[in-house]
Structure 1
Amino acid sequence: MTVLLLDPRWPTQIPMDGVVALRAPITYTGEVPISVRWHVSDLAGAEELGTGTLVSTNREDPEVLERVERGERVIEAPSREDPLEEARRVMSRALDLGEWEARQTHESLLPYLREETEEFCEAVSAGASSEELRKELGDLFLQVLFHAEIADRRGEFDLGDVARSFVEKMRVRSPYLFDGTVIPVSEEEQERLWAEGKNSEKGH
């Protein structure tokens, strides 16, 4: 009857329309955490004739695909539509399924990073359209995703850590973004704070 797709990052956040649609018998794909199963079993309505509800965090699971193919209703957690998370998932699958991608290292990807950076610079210099710039930035973003996925598989850091490093840098170098400031900050003050923050980082 229903496939409930939860966000693998926050599987306990069950969307309200998913709660309303839950009907026993409830089944789960293998990766769904036990804590989610406890919560869902408490929420389920009365058992009805039919296939009930399948709860999953993996749209590519064979059982999910089979039930979607049969035309069952699919309810997804809204956070699954996050384009950044979708990009991360696509990159992860690229390394799972692509022989070439799986062989790459930070070092082997450097020529591509240089090439994509140069192409973006050339596009800006040539006055490229916003659509062309968007595509060139997408090519650059692929490089960020690729390097982050390689590091994640080595147990070093992931895309979330990269994002956090950006926020940490801005917290130190542009504190007015975090202290409640509501009026524009002068360029001179920005430069002073940036240099001060950079020196502080060197001190650490």
Structure 2
Amino acid sequence: MSVLVLDPRWPDMIPLQAAVGVQSPVAYTDEVPVSVRWNFGDLARSEDPTGVGTLVTTDVNDPLVKERIESGEIVVEAASLKDPLHKAQAVMHEARARGEWEKAQTHESLLEYLKQETQELIDAVQGKHSDEELKKELSDLFLQVLFHAELADERGAFAFPDVAQAFVDKMKNRAPYLFDGSTGTVSVDKQDRLWEEGKRKEKSAE
């Protein structure tokens, strides 16, 4: 008797320990893709004598999943679910879905808090606060990024991973030496030149 929790971002990445722990009968919650289900035909090499078997899911909030976990079944989770960035996104999504204050916010209404948190970070840096305080202020600013990305995701514009990809794309364009396999220190003059060249390319592509 076990519950296998896959990462909804990459459900095809089945944990290695599942290769020896999956028992028939194998059941799935509704959202598990058919392409993922095909993989379990060969994995389920043993029969659960209790007849309960393994439940495969990407949704820990599914009622059946909750019921089986609460009954004490073994839970195997994809390691990627412990990623702090994934957890942060999940918390922000839940806050927006359940918090009355969060539900009422817009990009515009959040600007006041963005300014406030930015100033508090500046104060922490200039005031030579402890690393712990600096981390706290950075997390407050990070909350603002998560919040705006969540709002954009709700209207189908972009999501938090797209923001991260936009950063990588910008650096590819403005700091190509980070991606060309070269090593060593890059001079400030070269950095400035490449940065400006990258900005011009971006503007011409708009």
TM-score (norm 2): 0.95
Question: Which residue of the partner structure matches residue 75 of structure 2?
Answer: 74
2:125 pairs with 1:121: no
Q: Which residue of 1 aligns with 2:3?
A: 3
2:202 counterpart residue number: 201
Residue-by-residue CA offset, 1:20-78 (whole Å, 9 max, x unaligned): 10001111122111111121133212322222111111122222222222221111111
2:157 counterpart residue number: 156
Q: Encode CA deviations 1:79-125: one digit per residue, 9 max, x unaligned.
A: 11111111111111111112221221101111011111010001111
Greater shift after overlay, 90-99 or 173-182? 90-99
Partner SS for 1:108: helix
2:30 maps to which residue? 30
| Equivalent residue, structure 1, for 2:19 | 19
3-state DSSP class of the match of 1:168? helix
Is 108-117 or 183-192 further displaced after alignment?
183-192
* SS in structure 1 at match of 2:137: helix
TM-score, length of structure 1 as denominator length: 0.96
Following the alignment from structure 1 to structure 2, what is the Cα–Cα distance between the partners of residues 77 and 58? 12
Dislocated runs of 4+, deviation >4 Å? none
Which residues in structure 2 correspond to 1:171-186 (within 5 Å)?
171-186=172-187
1:16 partner amino acid: L
Match runs of 1:137-152 below 5 Å: 137-152=138-153
SS at match of 2:60: coil
Q: Any gaps of 5 or more consecutive residues in structure 2?
A: none
Q: How far is 1:192 from its partner?
A: 1.4
Q: Which moved more, 1:40-49 or 1:114-123?
A: 40-49
Matched positions, count: 204
RMSD of equivalent CA atoms: 1.2
